Amino acid sequence: MKAIIKFAGLLAITGMLGGTAVDANAATSQNINTHAAACNPAGPSQATSIFYAVYGVWNASSAVNYVVCPVARHPVTGPGQSFYVDGTNSGGQTTNFTLYSYTYTGTLESWVGFSSNLATYDLYETLTSASYYSYVSLFVTLPASGNGLFRGIAALDN
């Protein structure tokens, strides 16, 4: 009788485990998006002109302004890492970016500068060196008078 109960219990457990489905198409990459609301004014003079919204960050000043953004990322084995930067511009204005990678000791590994004057942009950029323990940040120059909206950056798991 004990053998029958143990066998029945084993069948029940096997049935529970066997009923667990694994989606073969499930995403396995670990891309990480960082919303522009995580950015900070680059200095005290920018603090009153930078506006944060659920859809991004923009500059209300009549002059260009700057924000510094942390870039959350899944550590990659290197040697580099790629990113998408998203936003919009209006009035033919340009948003400028500089993406930096630093070691945990503060040594600059690599950087890349780029810009866009497109009405809507989704820019693909690569840091040539971003090690497993690197910190990554993005410096953004926002156009004046709300003519540029920075939405965020996605770190790709390459």
Q: Is the pTM of this model over 0.85?
A: no
Q: What is the mean pLDDT of residues 49-73?
A: 96
Residue 71 clears pLDDT 80, i.e. is over it = yes
Q: pLDDT tens, 11-36? A: 444 444 444 444 444 456 688 999 99
Task: Determine the Cα–Cα distance for residues 2 and 34; give it in Å rounded to an integer.
Answer: 57
Q: Are strands 135-142 and 95-102 parallel, antiparallel or unpaired?
A: antiparallel
Q: Which amino acid is at 101?
A: S
Q: pLDDT tens, 87-112? A: 999 999 999 999 999 999 999 999 99
Q: Which domains are assigned to the chain?
A: 30-155 (2.60.120.260)
Give me the pLDDT at residue 22, please. 45
137, 68 contact by CB (below 8 A): yes
Q: Are strands 81-89 and 120-127 parallel, antiparallel or unpaired?
A: antiparallel
The separation between CA 89 and the C-alpha centre of its own chain, rounded to angstroms, equals 20
